[in-house]
Chain A
Amino acid sequence: MIHSKVVAMILAGGQGSRLKNLTRKTAKPAVHFGGKYRIIDFTLSNCANSGIHSVGILTQYQPLALNTHIGTGVPWDLDRKGGGVEILPPYMSTEGGRWYAGTANAIFENIDYIDLHQPEYVLILSGDHIYKMDYRKMVAFHQKTKADVTVSVIEVPWEEASRFGILNTKDDDVIYEFDEKPANPKNNLASMGIYVFNWKLLRRYLREDHKNKESTHDFGSDIIPEILRQGHRMMAYRFSGYWRDVGTVDSYWEAHMDLLDPNNELRLYDDEWKIFTKNLDVPPHYISDAGHVENSLLNEGCEVYGTVKNSILSTSSVVEEGAVVTDSILLPYARVGKGAVLKKTIVLSHHKVQEDEVLGDGETITLAGAYDMGIL
C-alpha cells in the first residue's frame, strides 16, 4: 500500500572526503562495507523491505561504481514496471547545465521525477548510513500525528550532542528549533537526515528556496529552519537501534568491529530484514590446513592460508601463508602476501600487500592502497 503514496529520494552524490583514499575514486555510498555490502545497500534494502517501490538516487560525485552496482535494481527487487529505481544525475536544460548545489537543490532539480509518481509523501534519505529501519512505521507516525514534516531522530549521549544536528522538541516531540552542532545543546535528539515531507508542502518550499539567493540549498540549514519559521507542524520520530554515519576512517573501522559482536544491534543474520546486494557469483570461502581464523567475519570467495584475528575479510580477499592479519579490514579482492603483518589496517579493493610487508602500528588506522575504484 505504501508504494503508491511514497517516493523515496536517496542522496548519494556526496564525496565523503573524510574517508580519504576510500572515496578518492568512488562516491561514499558505493564504498564497500561489512564484508559483502556497499554502504547504500542498507538504505536500498530498507526501502525494499518497507515496500517502497519508487526510489530515486541522486548521484553526482564519482558515480561509476555506484551506477554499475545499482544497475536496474535487480538485487533489491526494484526492477519494476511503473516505478523501481531511477538514477538521477545532474543534467542540462535550456537554462544550461548545472551541478547539484546542495541537498535541497538536488531534489528541486528532480521535481518532475517526483511529480511523475504523484506521491502524497516524499521520503528523503541519505545513502551513507548503516542501519535497518522500517520506513512504514515512520510514515504511519507522520500520518497519525498529522505532521507536515517528520524528522527521524536518535538519542545521543549528552556529551556528544554538540557533534550533531540537534532538534529541540517540546514534551510531545513537536520540533520547535533546529540547532546545527550546538556548543551548549538543549536536547540530545540528533537528526538522522531522514525526513518525511508532505510533497505539496515540500514542493512549494523547494521552489521558494531555489529563488532565494542567500540560501545554500541544504535541507538541514535552509529548508527545515524555513519550514519551522513558517510555523508548520514538524514532528520528531524517535528511532532506537543501530545507526552509524560511517563518515570518517575511524567510524568506518569501528562500525566494522561492531559486526564481530555476535549480538550486535544491527542483526545482520535476521532473515526478516535481509540486506540485499549485487551477487558476485563466487564460491564459499576456504580456510587451509595452516589457516587460522578467530573472531572474524569472512565473505564468499576468500582464501585463508595464514592467520586472521579480529578482522573482516570481504569478498574474494586472500591471506597467504605466514601472513598475520589483526584488527584489520580487507576489501574485495585484496591480497595479503606471504609473511606480511597487518595491524589495524584497511586494505583497499584489488590492492596487494607485498610479501613480508609490515603495515600498521596498532594505534592509528592505516589505509593500504592509493585509491579504490570501487569496481569489482
Chain B
Amino acid sequence: MSINLQGIINLGEREEYIRELTMNRPLATVPFAGRYRLIDFMLSNMVNSGIDSISLIVKNKFHSLNDHIGPGKDWDLDRKTGGLRMLYPDLEPDSNLISIGDIPIVRSNLAHFASLKKDHILLTRSNYIGNIDFRPAYEEHVKKGNDITVLTRRIRQGRMRIDLLGMDIIQKRNGTYSIGRNLGNQNNFDLSIEMFLMKKSVFLRIVHETIEEGVEPYLKKAIISRLSDYKVDTYTVDVDILPIHSIQQYYNASLTILDPIYAQYLFYKNGKIYTKVKDAPSTLYATGSEVNNSLIANGCVIEGTVENSIIFRDVHIGRGAVVRNSIVFQDTQISSRANMNYCIIDKFVHIGSGKVLMGDGGLPYVISKGASIR
C-alpha cells in the first residue's frame, strides 16, 4: 500500500574519493554486487517501503543514469500518477557551465516540488547500501509530529573505524541537534546517514529561504544549518548500512556481500532489489574451472580460477587465468593465464593472456572502463 511520502534522491554527491569509477558515470550508477548499480538499493528500498513517487535530483553525466533507469519500469515506477521523475539542472543558454552545488538544480525545479501531492518527503543519497524498511521511521516521524527526523546509525567503539572518518555525526546539545564531521575523537556516536524525513512544508520553506539568501549552494548544509529552527528528532535505523564514498569503502562493501548471511539480508530482507534487466543466459563453468567464495552474475563463461571475488554479467575468464580478491565489471575479458589480485576492473576491459595485475587489500588497483592490456 502506498504511503503519504515522497522520495527524493539527491545525486549531487561528492565523487572525488571514488574518481576512477565515476569518470563516465555518476556515483549513483557505479556497478555493485555483480548485477546492480548503487542507486538500485535506494530505489528498491523506497519502492518496497510503499513509496510510489520518487524524484531524482540529477547533477551531471545524465547518459549513464538515463540508460540505466529509463522510465523506471524495472522498479515499477512507470506510473501515471507519481512514479519516477528526473530533475535536471537548467543549463544557461550562453554558458556550458554547471553551477556549483545542488541548490541551483532545486531552484530550476521549484514548480515540481511545489506540486508534490504528498505531505512528507524522504530525502536521501544514492550511495548507502542496505535493505531498509522506511515505514517504521516514517510512522514515528508522523506520530511525534516532527518537522525533521534525521535517520541515524548508532556506532559503538567507533574510534578505531577509519572507514567512518569524515562522515556526518549528529549530536544533541542544550536541546538542539547539530550535525558535524567525524574526526575520530569520539568512541560512541550517532552517524547521520544523510537520510531526512521532513514535512513537505518545512522542506519547501528551507529551500525557499536558502534560495532567497543566495549564499549556501548545498541542500544538505542548508538543512543542517536550520535544525535549531525546527522540531527535530532522530530515528535509529537498526539494519546494517554500507556507506560508499571512497574506493576503499566500495571495495570493502563489495567483499562484505560475500558473507552469505549479509547477502541474505541485503538481497531479500524487506523485499528484493530491482535493477535493469539484461537478459543474459546462465553462467557456464567449464571443466577445470575452480571457483570459491565468489558471487558470479549471469552470462559469464568461467574456465579459470576465481576466489573471493565478484564477477559481473557477461565476463569471460579464460583457461588458467586466476582472479583473486577482485571485482570484475560486465563485458570484460580476462584472457588465459592472466593473474590478478586485489583489482577492480571496469566494464569492457581486455586483459591479455599471461598479464599480471596486483593491487593491495588497502589500495585496490583500478583499471578504467574500456582499457586494453595486451
- For B294, the chain A residues whose CB sits under 8 A away are 286-287
Cβ of B64 under 8 Å from chain A: no
Q: Assuming A269-B299, A282-B267, is B282 touching A299 (CB within 8 A)?
A: yes
Cβ of A221 under 8 Å from chain B: no
Q: Which of A107-115, A200-208, A271-279 contacts B (4 or more CB under 8 A)?
A: A271-279
Asked if B299 and A298 make an inter-chain contact with CB atoms under 8 angstroms apart, the answer reads no
- Select from chain B the residue with minimum beta-carbon distance to A269: B281
- Select from chain B the residue with minimum beta-carbon distance to A300: B298
- For A303, the chain B residues whose CB sits under 8 A away are 260
Cβ of A294 under 8 Å from chain B: yes
Partner of B289, one of A268, A294, A313: A294
- Select from chain A the residue with minimum beta-carbon distance to B33: A283
Q: Give A75 to B279 CA distance when docked, in angstroms.
A: 9
- Select from chain B the residue with minimum beta-carbon distance to A308: B285
Partner of B298, one of A36, A75, A275, A287: A36
Cβ of A284 under 8 Å from chain B: yes
Cβ of A35 under 8 Å from chain B: yes
- Select from chain A the residue with minimum beta-carbon distance to B73: A74
- For B35, the chain A residues whose CB sits under 8 A away are 283-284, 300
Partner of B285, one of A281, A282, A294, A300: A294
Asked if B283 and A298 make an inter-chain contact with CB atoms under 8 angstroms apart, the answer reads yes
Asked if B282 and A260 make an inter-chain contact with CB atoms under 8 angstroms apart, the answer reads no
Asked if B263 and A35 make an inter-chain contact with CB atoms under 8 angstroms apart, the answer reads no
Asked if B292 and A260 make an inter-chain contact with CB atoms under 8 angstroms apart, the answer reads no
Asked if B34 and A295 make an inter-chain contact with CB atoms under 8 angstroms apart, the answer reads no
Asked if B292 and A286 make an inter-chain contact with CB atoms under 8 angstroms apart, the answer reads no
Q: Give A289 to B74 CA distance when docked, in angstroms.
A: 33
Nearest CB in chain B: distance from A321 CB, A: 12
Nearest CB in chain B: distance from A255 CB, A: 14
Cβ of B155 under 8 Å from chain A: no
- Select from chain B the residue with minimum beta-carbon distance to A291: B292
Asked if A274 and B279 make an inter-chain contact with CB atoms under 8 angstroms apart, the answer reads yes
Partner of B296, one of A262, A284, A295: A284
Asked if B296 and A283 make an inter-chain contact with CB atoms under 8 angstroms apart, the answer reads no
Q: A290-308: which have CB < 8 Å to B? A: 291-300, 303
- For B138, the chain A residues whose CB sits under 8 A away are none
Cβ of B373 under 8 Å from chain A: no
Q: How extensive is the interface on chain A, given as a class?
A: 35 or more
- For B277, the chain A residues whose CB sits under 8 A away are 75, 279
Q: Kindly supply a per-residue 1/0 record for chain B positions 284-312, scoring 1 wherever the CB is within 8 Å of any chain A CB and 0 otherwise.
A: 11111111111111110100000000110
Asked if A298 and B292 make an inter-chain contact with CB atoms under 8 angstroms apart, the answer reads no
Cβ of A288 under 8 Å from chain B: yes
Asked if A287 and B292 make an inter-chain contact with CB atoms under 8 angstroms apart, the answer reads yes
Q: Give A287 to B35 CA distance when docked, in angstroms.
A: 16
Q: Kindly supply a per-residue 1/0 record for chain A positions 313-336, scoring 1 wherever the CB is within 8 Å of any chain B CB and 0 otherwise.
A: 100000000000000000000000
- For B284, the chain A residues whose CB sits under 8 A away are 259-260, 262, 296-297
Q: Give A303 to B279 CA distance when docked, in angstroms.
A: 20
Q: Give A277 to B311 CA distance when docked, in angstroms.
A: 22
Nearest CB in chain B: distance from A282 CB, A: 7
Cβ of A127 under 8 Å from chain B: no
Q: Give A287 to B307 CA distance when docked, in angstroms.
A: 10
- Select from chain A the residue with minimum beta-carbon distance to B276: A279
- For B288, the chain A residues whose CB sits under 8 A away are 294
Q: Give A279 to B280 CA distance when docked, in angstroms.
A: 11
Asked if A268 and B281 make an inter-chain contact with CB atoms under 8 angstroms apart, the answer reads yes
Q: Give A313 to B296 CA distance when docked, in angstroms.
A: 13
Partner of B293, one of A260, A274, A275, A287: A287
Q: Give A297 to B258 CA distance when docked, in angstroms.
A: 20
Partner of A276, one of B73, B274, B279: B279
Asked if B281 and A34 make an inter-chain contact with CB atoms under 8 angstroms apart, the answer reads yes
Asked if A294 and B287 make an inter-chain contact with CB atoms under 8 angstroms apart, the answer reads yes
Asked if B295 and A286 make an inter-chain contact with CB atoms under 8 angstroms apart, the answer reads yes
Q: Assuming A262-B301, A274-B279, is B267 touching A293 (CB within 8 A)?
A: no
Asked if B260 and A288 make an inter-chain contact with CB atoms under 8 angstroms apart, the answer reads yes
Q: Give A283 to B298 CA distance when docked, in angstroms.
A: 10
Q: Give A72 to B277 CA distance when docked, in angstroms.
A: 17
- For A313, the chain B residues whose CB sits under 8 A away are 282
- For B282, the chain A residues whose CB sits under 8 A away are 34-36, 297-300, 312-313
- For B310, the chain A residues whose CB sits under 8 A away are 284
Cβ of B355 under 8 Å from chain A: no
- Select from chain B the residue with minimum beta-carbon distance to A314: B282
Cβ of A285 under 8 Å from chain B: yes
Cβ of B273 under 8 Å from chain A: yes
Q: Kindly supply a per-residue 1/0 record for chain A positions 243-257, scoring 1 wherever the CB is within 8 Å of any chain B CB and 0 otherwise.
A: 000000000000000
Q: Kindly supply a per-residue 1/0 record for chain B positions 48-75, scoring 1 wherever the CB is within 8 Å of any chain A CB and 0 otherwise.
A: 0000000000000000000000000110
- For B298, the chain A residues whose CB sits under 8 A away are 36, 284, 299-300
Asked if A283 and B281 make an inter-chain contact with CB atoms under 8 angstroms apart, the answer reads no
Asked if B279 and A275 make an inter-chain contact with CB atoms under 8 angstroms apart, the answer reads yes
Asked if A293 and B289 make an inter-chain contact with CB atoms under 8 angstroms apart, the answer reads yes
Q: Give A262 to B291 CA distance when docked, in angstroms.
A: 18
- Select from chain B the residue with minimum beta-carbon distance to A298: B283
- For A285, the chain B residues whose CB sits under 8 A away are 283, 295-296
Cβ of B369 under 8 Å from chain A: no
Cβ of B272 under 8 Å from chain A: yes
Asked if A284 and B299 make an inter-chain contact with CB atoms under 8 angstroms apart, the answer reads no
- For A281, the chain B residues whose CB sits under 8 A away are 272-275
Asked if A289 and B281 make an inter-chain contact with CB atoms under 8 angstroms apart, the answer reads no
Asked if B273 and A283 make an inter-chain contact with CB atoms under 8 angstroms apart, the answer reads yes
Nearest 8 interchain pairs by C-beta: A35-B282, A284-B34, A284-B297, A268-B281, A299-B282, A281-B272, A283-B267, A295-B287
Q: List 21 A-B contacts (CB under 8 A).
A: A35-B282, A260-B284, A274-B279, A283-B33, A283-B273, A284-B33, A284-B298, A286-B260, A287-B291, A289-B292, A291-B291, A291-B292, A293-B289, A293-B291, A294-B289, A295-B285, A295-B287, A297-B283, A298-B283, A300-B35, A300-B298
Interface set of B (CB-CB < 8 Å, partner A): 33-35, 73-74, 258, 260, 263, 267, 272-275, 277, 279, 281-299, 301, 310-311
* Besides A281-B274, A294-B288, A300-B298, 18 other A-B contacts (C-beta < 8 A): A35-B282, A36-B282, A259-B284, A260-B284, A269-B281, A281-B272, A281-B275, A282-B272, A283-B33, A284-B296, A284-B311, A286-B258, A287-B296, A288-B293, A294-B289, A297-B283, A298-B296, A300-B282
